[in-house]
Structure 1
Amino acid sequence: MGGWFFAADPDRSFFEQTVYWAPEALPTIVPVRPTLLVGSHAYVRLDLSELTESGLQHAPDGWHAVLHLRGVEHRIWFKEAPLAAGAYVVELPLDRDFDFRADASRRLWRGLKGRPQGAPLHALSGHRRRRVALALRASDARTDGATYREIAKVLLPAHRISARAWPTHEVRNQIIRLVKTGFALIKGGYRTFLRPLSRKK
């Protein structure tokens, strides 16, 4: 359930393990298939020979690879067992995720060519990243029994609010919103980061 085939160890950090996702759950996965070299087309080789076991996994739906090119992570999906080094074409279904797959494909191609890859379409702004981090910290603290005011003292130490002013202070409302946001993320809201909202025309 949830769009993944591989079990992740809940006791290990995301940074300590590779988490794989099915293409239908993560639209930035690039679906590829091998092709014959025909004519004078200069195909960029997709070299998988240096992938470790953790970078290439077999699943019921095919093979999943995670490549790192110039410090940027790229996720690729093969319906059949991939060749160590071969010519490939990208398959882009004309569905709601076309923009994101096309962008991920372009960034993969630029990475293989040794060019700057740029930021992905679904990249979070710095402001949103900070808010998500604060929301998760706030919900964790609340789960551990901290009061809203205790959470505010840790997360927003620049605000010195008297006990008298606290019940109606805007910072109290801000902390409550952060806690609610954190719980919503934990209960499944994090999936919005895997599947960005479709771009408006």
Structure 2
Amino acid sequence: MHVILGKGLRIVHLLLQDARFADYPLSILTPLDDGARARHRAMGRLLDFLEGREMGADSRLTPQKRLRFKSMLRAVDGRRNGATYREIAESLFGARRVASEPWKTSPLRDTTIRLVRDGLAMVTGGYLDLLRR
């Protein structure tokens, strides 16, 4: 059974294995492996949500890392849609800034290439490392 709790931007999706959940208290079964601590923190945030308390932001990512991940995904999307590194850089940093220095030696070029490389790694399974923190 799939249950959606909340509304708007504050929703939680639950996948329940037994539809008789209304007859019994909810429980969470989770393995004690390398990801156990991360799942434990997520369960605490879920409990906060269910009790109507403020969940707060996930503390595993700093605002800078969130911004970098967003840029990585935008760079991957551009690359997969046939954009050149320069076109991606113009989208991320602005055409004027990209044009302000020679492209072949530009630090923006190196940054763009790294964003695409790291974004591709994230999309092909690297995101799972985030869930284990």
TM more than 0.5? yes
Task: Supply the distance in 1 between the matched residues of 2:67 and 2:86 (Cα, whole angstroms).
Answer: 20
Moved over 6 A (4+): none
Task: Report if aligned partners of 1:135, 1:179 keep a CA contact under 8 Å in 2.
Answer: yes
Q: What letter matches 1:138 in structure 2?
A: A
Greater relative contact order (Cα < 8 A, sep 6+): 2
Task: Supply the distance in 2 between the matched residues of 1:132 and 1:72 (Cα, whole angstroms).
Answer: 21
Alignment-derived partner of residue 113 in structure 1: 51
Task: Supply the distance in 1 between the matched residues of 2:65 and 2:83 (Cα, whole angstroms).
Answer: 24
Task: Supply the distance in 1 between the matched residues of 2:15 and 2:118 (Cα, whole angstroms).
Answer: 32
SS at match of 2:21: coil
Question: More strand by proportion, 1 or 2?
Answer: 1
Task: Supply the distance in 1 between the matched residues of 2:93 and 2:9 (Cα, whole angstroms).
Answer: 33
1:16-35: per-residue Cα shift (whole Å, max 9, x none)?
xxxxxxxxxxxxxxxxxxxx
Q: In the superposition, relative to structure 1, how do residues 100 and 79 fare at CA in structure 2: closer, same or farther (>3 Å)?
A: same
Task: Supply the distance in 2 between the matched residues of 1:155 and 1:166 (Cα, whole angstroms).
Answer: 15
Alignment-derived partner of residue 187 in structure 1: 124
Question: More helix by proportion, 1 or 2?
Answer: 2
Task: Supply the distance in 2 between the matched residues of 1:154 and 1:118 (Cα, whole angstroms).
Answer: 31
Q: TM-score, normalised by structure 2?
A: 0.71
Q: TM-score, normalised by structure 1?
A: 0.51
SS at match of 2:20: coil
Task: Supply the distance in 2 between the matched residues of 1:86 and 1:71 (Cα, whole angstroms).
Answer: 28
Report the identity percentage: 34
Matches within 5 A, 1:170-181: 170-181=107-118
Offset of residue 177 of structure 1: 0.8
Q: In the superposition, relative to structure 1, how do residues 70 and 85 fare at CA in structure 2: closer, same or farther (>3 Å)?
A: farther
Task: Supply the distance in 2 between the matched residues of 1:142 and 1:93 (Cα, whole angstroms).
Answer: 37
SS at match of 2:58: coil
Task: Supply the distance in 1 between the matched residues of 2:98 and 2:126 (Cα, whole angstroms).
Answer: 32
Task: Supply the distance in 2 between the matched residues of 1:145 and 1:117 (Cα, whole angstroms).
Answer: 39
Q: In the superposition, relative to structure 1, how do residues 106 and 135 fare at CA in structure 2: closer, same or farther (>3 Å)?
A: closer
Q: CA RMSD in A?
A: 3.1
Task: Supply the distance in 1 between the matched residues of 2:87 and 2:27 (Cα, whole angstroms).
Answer: 55
Q: In the superposition, relative to structure 1, how do residues 146 and 79 fare at CA in structure 2: closer, same or farther (>3 Å)?
A: closer
Task: Supply the distance in 1 between the matched residues of 2:14 and 2:49 (Cα, whole angstroms).
Answer: 13
Unmatched tracts of structure 1, length 5 or more:
1-55, 58-64
Task: Report if aligned partners of 1:148, 1:175 keep a CA contact under 8 Å in 2.
Answer: yes
SS at match of 1:68: strand
Unmatched tracts of structure 2, length 5 or more:
none
1:110-155: per-residue Cα shift (whole Å, max 9, x none)?
3333222233354x33322222222222233233333222222221
SS at match of 2:45: helix
Please tell me whether Structure 1 or Structure 2 has the larger radius of gyration of its CA atoms.
1
